[in-house]
Structure 1
Amino acid sequence: MRIEVNGVRLYVDVEGAGLVPDGPRMRSTPTLIALHGGPGIDHTVFKPALSSLSDLAQIVYVDHRGNGRSDDGDPQHWTLAQWGDDVKALCDVLGIERPIVFGASFGGYVAQAYATRHPEHPGGLILASTLARFEIEPILAMFDHLGGPRARSVAESYWQNPTPERRGAYMETCLPLYSARGTGALSRCQIRHDVAMRFNGPRNEQGRMDYRADLARIRCPVLVMAGDRDPMTPPACSETLVGSLPHDLVRFERFEGCGHSLLGDDTDRAIEVIRDFIQADSMQWPAVRSDCA
């Protein structure tokens, strides 16, 4: 379905009930909002892995504006601030309070934009395979480690100055290094290379992005998940993200032998860690009480 949010129609899909029978009453479940990576792909990369959480939470999948099945809107609004505000506005339209926002890769950038611009709104954050700041040298070093000098050279060429030709070479040479089990889920996605190239690069939004100072404003529990063989989120970058968050609110889970797609490389453990986070005592869901008449 498409829902109008901030002047554009966003594609939204939902799994799981928001209200479930609990004896003589109905009980509300938490809402997990899934923000996909890219930019330039769509929410289908999360399916079917996240479906197993629908017994615990209502899952709301959304394609960011300019991505997937959502409207483009004005390309001038393809910014992290706008994408983050869209998450808040989507919750307002749907009546979602205290959501758990799960952002993977670029979706993690959007989750950080949302949470730092609206710090009192989220009930929890899950930041998977993502960065607080794009740091090129650790990324190139990991591509070199995983794919040799050729992979490093192709990655450096694209990230320093994205063009259609360089993106094509990057997709052929570097993308297979993202995941230990392959990137087959992308074959189901509606891919938008123009959105990616408008965002990527040192002179574009990704190059200017820096949430390190802003993350101190976070007020909810945060789960950070990262693979130790992820070329786009090398260990040093994950540690920067974790170190920028309030220490009493953050939990860090490192996945050994995993790349950029944790749900693909170690599905069972990723789902187990997310499930445990949602059910943790530190998570206070005001709606999760058997008091709904």
Structure 2
Amino acid sequence: MLITIAPEVQLFVDIEGAGWVPDGPCLRQKPTLILLHGGPGYDHSSFKPIFSQLADVAQIVYVDHRGHGRGSRRPAEEWTLDTFADDVVRLCEALGIEQPIVLGQSFGGFVAQRYLARHPGHPAKVVLSSTAARFNLDRKLAMFERLGGPAARTAAEAFWTAPAEATWAAYQAACMHLYNPTPGHPEARQRNVFNEEILYTWSAREFPVMDLRPGLASAQCPVLVMAGALDPVTPIDDAREIFDALPAAHRQWAEFANAGHGAWRDMPDEAMATLRAFITG
């Protein structure tokens, strides 16, 4: 469905599971889990179908970021972390959601970190999965070379220093298969509604100067940092940097030794059990 969150701004949203369920003589409200997808430029489809496993403990809200996926196209000046982060609040106001659990994967984790900084009292809990607080190009290049050799390093450096159609094609060929040790389903990428212009524009304009560490100190709720030890694009030291910047009273850590980018893609049982425990704990 399309949800209007501001004049002429519609986000595509899909909702799985009831929010209120029978519990003896009462109706019990389940928490709402909002999923912020990676990219930029991609859509929410990478969360399906595996996150359906959590529908018994949370009402799941899949959302495409502003200008992404099946929502309304928006001008490039709106493709900023501040706007994407504030859209989480706008969406909750439109749907009547209070104190959501917000999970940000990769680029969605950038959005979730900025959301934590700008609206620290809004979420009940936050999950930061396979993400980073800074660009950290040297870490990416070292990990791509470790997993894919000099050719992967060269392609990664070319794309991340000059995001464009030509460098993206080489990056896809040399680097994307290194994101996870477990091969992805061949049809999964075809399900994406991909706006590659957002990828190139945001990655060139905002990513190199991004530093989300100062805002993490504002966190007022439990924050789970999930990281795969074999992740080349947001290496595990990026996750440790996030963890170190969070208040000690609120931070939790989950490391997956045999996983890459998005632990549920390589260690689904362990990752889903970790998320279930965090949601219900």
Task: Give the aligned CA root-mean-square deviation in angstroms.
Answer: 0.9
Aligned match of 2:192 in 189, 193, 196?
189
Of structures 1 and 2, the one scoring higher in RCO (CA 8 A, sep 6+) is 1
Q: Distance in 1 between matches of 2:211 and 2:17?
A: 35
Q: Does 1:2 align with 2:2?
A: yes
SS of 1:156's partner is: helix
Q: Does 1:95 align with 2:96?
A: yes
Per-residue CA shift, 1:27-83, capped at 9, x if unaligned? 111000000000111111000111010000000000001111011222210100000
1:263, CA displacement in angstroms? 1.8
Matched residues, number: 278
Task: Work out whether residues 34 and 103 of structure 1, in 8 Å CA contact, stay in contact via their aligned partners in 2.
Answer: yes
Determine the structure 1 residue equivalent to 2:253. Answer: 252
Which residue type is aligned with residue 226 of structure 2? M
Determine the structure 2 residue equivalent to 1:155. Answer: 156
Matches for 1:1-293 after TM superposition, within 5 Å: 1-7=1-7, 8-184=9-185, 185-201=188-204, 204-280=205-281
Q: Distance in 2 between matches of 1:183 and 1:142?
A: 20
1:238, CA displacement in angstroms? 1.3
SS of 1:162's partner is: coil
Task: Work out whether residues 120 and 218 of structure 2, in 8 Å CA contact, stay in contact via their aligned partners in 1.
Answer: yes
Unaligned runs of 5+ in 1: 281-293
Q: Distance in 1 between matches of 2:262 and 2:216?
A: 24
Per-residue CA shift, 1:172-206, capped at 9, x if unaligned? 111110011124332211112111001113xx111
Q: Distance in 2 between matches of 1:183 and 1:109?
A: 23
SS of 2:139's partner is: helix
SS of 1:76's partner is: helix
1:124, CA displacement in angstroms? 0.3
Per-residue CA shift, 1:130-152, capped at 9, x if unaligned? 01111000110000000000000
Q: Distance in 2 between matches of 1:131 and 1:183?
A: 22
Per-residue CA shift, 1:243-275, capped at 9, x if unaligned? 011111111111011111312111111110000
Q: Distance in 1 between matches of 2:236 and 2:79?
A: 28
Q: Distance in 2 between matches of 1:232 and 1:171?
A: 12
TM-score by length of 2: 0.97
SS of 2:132's partner is: coil
Per-residue CA shift, 1:91-110, capped at 9, x if unaligned? 01111011000000000011
Task: Work out whether residues 124 and 222 of structure 1, in 8 Å CA contact, stay in contact via their aligned partners in 2.
Answer: yes
Unaligned runs of 5+ in 2: none
